[in-house]
Structure 1
Amino acid sequence: MSEVLVGVFDSFEQADRAVEKLTQSGIDRSHMEVHANGRISDPLVEDPAVEQPALHTDEGPASKIARFFSNLFGNDEQPEEVGHYQEAVRRGGAVLTVTVLDEAQMRAVRSTLHEAGAVDIEERVSEWKNTGYKGYDPSAAQYSADETAAERQSFAVVRESLEVGKREVQTGGVRVYSRATATPVSEAVTLREEHATIERHPVDRIATAEDLKAASVEVRETAEHAVVSKTAHVVEEVTVGKEASERVETVNETLKGTEVEVERVEGAPSSLPGERTGPLPDTRP
């Protein structure tokens, strides 16, 4: 069973681009209609051999929308959204209706309409109500180009964000040198010496044969001298390296931005706040 999806756009040009996107995705152009102020079109037929429907010059876009949904729902009772679609066209927007044949087409069309800039009609109606809108009034005049531009005026809401990064800086260091040194030292040592001594003692005794023998005795004299030798010993090692530590630093900063306040002003509807886009509702038979 076929169903109808409805997309509301801020301009005819946006709706027309959506038609092109849908056509490129394989949707039959004869299943699409665009309703816009001063730009009313019947379904577009690709086959040039098929006669194009004539434009309805005797009715405005709001009447055309009403006729379309009357054919869809009957004349007894129409959804409230139909009046909202007519109001969107009155305010300079455009309504694109697409007939889809199955669930796969519905998902593809809904995604394409959203990407093409379709607005959330419920959010848009909520904004209109903030400025006194109570429902579609067929006797209300169409918006002029200036009124449409004023309603589309937007104010940027700016928020600064804080990004804290890290960078490495040189904070100093150490440099280690190894060089030869010479240190004078003194060391006391005890040296021993041996000297020959001769002692003579007067005696008075009779000489013996032994005394008459020739003999000799040799006594060596000795002396100790200091002998110096040096041995190098490693008494300390100096190791050069790095160790890491972490600390938490709190960064205090002031973020600048803007806020937009919406104040209700009685009078011209051109004082509406900025527009917003959102997901697309659909109307099913």
Structure 2
Amino acid sequence: MAQVLVGVFDSFEQADDAQSQLTQTGISRSSMEVHATGQTGIAAAEDSRVDEPAGHVEESASYKIGHFFGKLFGGGEQPAEVGHYQEAVRRGGAVLTVTVVDEAQLIAVRSALHEAGAVDIEERVSQWKNSGYQGYDPTAAQYSAEQTAAERQSFAVVRESLEVGKREVQTGGVRVYSRATETPVSEAVTLREEHATIERHPANRIATPEDLKATSVEVRETAEHPVVAKTAHVIEEVTVGKEASERTETINETLKGTEVEVERVESAPSALPADNAGSAPLKRP
């Protein structure tokens, strides 16, 4: 089922550029119309020869928009947006209508219109209402170039955004060495020694044959000496690794921005009488 997408632009040049971009994506130029004061698309120019009321150029673009949507809705009641589109043209803007045949084209064209700079018509109408707009008036005069430029004087609404990221930094580390050490120690040991002893005692008795025999006795002396042996024992193991931990840190910042306030200013009554309105200002002597 065919559908119509509408893009509102601030100038004919922007709408024409959007039309050219859509043509490059495969949208037929015959499926598009540009409506702007003094400028119309190909299809719109053909429509202008049918049932167009007599009038100056400023009326024709807005009329063609109404005529286009009148055919689209079959002469039935048109939505309020149609009048907003006509008002956009009256204020120096341009309207690009694109007829799409399927959902894929619908999505592609909608994205292309947004990227080409199409304005939010609801937001624009809200701005107009702040200055007294109550709806499209076919009898209202077309905006001059000066009026268009003055209305589109822009004030930037600024918002700072806070973006908190993470980066890894070196906070230190450990380096493990293994080296040989020597530690003097002292250890007490008890050593045992055996020595031969000779004791002589005075005697006075008659010798026996045994006493006359030649005999010998050997007694060995012993002594303990210290024996030193060393054995290495593993008393501790040092394992080097890393463990991760997480912490939550709250970032406190002040975001700057600007607000734009719209105030309606009523025109002040003239200070001069009507019959003196064209007189030259007085000069001091």
Same fold at TM > 0.5: yes
Amino-acid identity (%):
43
- Aligned residue in 2 for 1:85: 85
Pairs within 5 Å for 1:107-122: 109-122=109-122
- Aligned residue in 1 for 2:12: 12
Give the match's secondary structure for 1:129. helix
Gaps of 5+ in 2: 268-285
Contact 1:32 1:43 in 2 (8 A): yes
- Aligned residue in 2 for 1:226: 225
CA positional deviation for 1:161: 0.9
**Residues 200/263 of structure 1: CA separation in 2 closer, same or farther (3 Å cut):** same
**Residues 237/203 of structure 1: CA separation in 2 closer, same or farther (3 Å cut):** same
Q: After the TM superposition, which parts of structure 1 deviate over 6 Å for at least 4 consecutive aligned residues?
A: 51-54
Pairs within 5 Å for 1:68-83: 68-72=68-72, 78-83=78-83
Give the match's secondary structure for 1:258. coil
Whole-Å separation in 2 of the counterparts to 1:98 and 1:252: 48
Whole-Å separation in 2 of the counterparts to 1:28 and 1:250: 56
- Aligned residue in 2 for 1:201: 202
Pairs within 5 Å for 1:138-177: 138-152=138-152, 153-171=154-172, 173=174, 175-177=176-178
Which shifted more, 82-91 or 228-237?
228-237
Pairs within 5 Å for 1:41-52: 41-43=41-43
- Aligned residue in 2 for 1:48: none
- Aligned residue in 2 for 1:59: 57
Contact 2:8 2:93 in 1 (8 A): yes
Whole-Å separation in 2 of the counterparts to 1:52 and 1:91: 22
* TM-score normalised by structure 1 residue count: 0.71
Whole-Å separation in 2 of the counterparts to 1:44 and 1:141: 22
Give the match's secondary structure for 2:57. coil
Residues 73-131 of structure 1, C-alpha deviations (whole Å, 9 max, x = no match) = 57786543332111101111101234456666555544543443333323322221122
**Residues 78/188 of structure 1: CA separation in 2 closer, same or farther (3 Å cut):** closer
**Residues 203/154 of structure 1: CA separation in 2 closer, same or farther (3 Å cut):** same
- Aligned residue in 2 for 1:130: 130
Residues 136-170 of structure 1, C-alpha deviations (whole Å, 9 max, x = no match) = 22343333334333433141322231414142323
Gaps of 5+ in 1: 46-50, 269-285
* TM-score normalised by structure 2 residue count: 0.71
Residues 205-242 of structure 1, C-alpha deviations (whole Å, 9 max, x = no match) = 3x554444x41213334131423322234262241524
Residues 31-51 of structure 1, C-alpha deviations (whole Å, 9 max, x = no match) = 432111232344289xxxxx9
Whole-Å separation in 2 of the counterparts to 1:221 and 1:104: 118
User: Higher relative contact order at CA 8 Å, sep ≥6: structure 1 or structure 2?
Assistant: 1
Contact 2:48 2:64 in 1 (8 A): no
Equivalent residue pairs, number: 260
**Residues 23/165 of structure 1: CA separation in 2 closer, same or farther (3 Å cut):** closer
